């Protein structure tokens, strides 16, 4: 089993993260100005490289913008490394490093991979929001971290 770890991304990782995101969805990457968002997340120290045996296989953007709770904004594993347990372990690491006692995230109804991965990490369904993506409601999930520290 590979050793999974997280490393805070630096500006030197920008091209790598942009590449992961571009390969995920080229249209969204451009239309949603994801390069700008990635650059900001890196400079705000909210972007983490996911390493499998020290090889970069994806990234996760994690912040506290959702009602001051831990919030997984986006997690992406490079396609050839998906389905090997890496996403589950990376989200588990995020939950451990979270400074609040709950982590929230959301995904589309159509994204069954993410829903399965979240269930495996121990996330519970929190609710559904219609109207964001037409015909594909956003499902919210949360997990208690047992971490009693405050954010600051």
Q: How many residues bind ligand COA (CB under 6 A)?
A: 19
Q: Please report how close the Cβ of residue 14 comes to ligand COA at its closest, in angstroms.
A: 19
Tell me whether residue 119 or residue 130 sits nearer to ligand COA (CB atom): 119
Tell me whether residue 97 or residue 113 sits nearer to ligand COA (CB atom): 113
Q: Please report how close the Cβ of residue 117 comes to ligand COA at its closest, in angstroms.
A: 4
Q: Which of residues 38-77 bind ligand COA (CB under 6 A)?
A: 74-77
- What's CA 92's distance to the chain center, in Å? 11
Tell me whether residue 136 or residue 149 sits nearer to ligand COA (CB atom): 136
Q: In Å, what is the CA distance from 117 to each residue of 1, 57, 88, 92, 128?
A: 17, 16, 6, 10, 18
Q: Which of residues 8-37 bind ligand COA (CB under 6 A)?
A: 24
DSSP code of residue 17? H
Q: Which of 103, 111, 92 is nearest to 142 (CA)?
A: 103
- What's CA 129's distance to the chain center, in Å? 19
Residue nearest to ligand COA (CB): 87
Binding string, residues 74-113; x marks residues near ligand COA by CB under 6 A: xxxx----xxxxxxx------------------x---x-x
Tell me whether residue 32 or residue 149 sits nearer to ligand COA (CB atom): 32
Sole residue written with tokens 């609040």? 100
DSSP code of residue 132? S
Q: Using CA atoms, how far apart are residues 47 and 18, in angstroms rounded to an integer?
A: 12
A 10 A CB-CB count for 136 gives 12
Residues near ligand COA, by CB under 6 A: 24, 74-77, 82-88, 107, 111, 113-114, 116-117, 120
């Amino acid at each position: 089993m590979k050793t999974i770890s997280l490393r805070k991304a630096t500006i030197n990782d920008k091209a790598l993260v942009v590449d992961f995101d571009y390969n995920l969805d080229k249209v969204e990457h451009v239309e949603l100005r994801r390069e700008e968002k990635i650059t900001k997340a890196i400079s705000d120290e909210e972007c983490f490289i996911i390493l499998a045996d020290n090889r970069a296989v994806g990234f996760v953007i994690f912040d506290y913008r959702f009602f001051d709770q831990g919030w997984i904004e986006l997690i992406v594993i490079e396609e050839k490394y998906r389905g090997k347990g890496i996403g589950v372990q990376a989200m588990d690491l995020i939950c451990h490093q979270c400074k609040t006692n709950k982590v929230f995230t959301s995904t589309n109804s159509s994204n069954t991979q993410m829903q399965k991965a979240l269930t495996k990490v121990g996330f519970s369904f929190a609710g559904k929001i219609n109207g964001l993506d037409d015909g594909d409601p956003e499902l919210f999930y949360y997990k208690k971290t047992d971490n009693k520290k405050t954010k600051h």
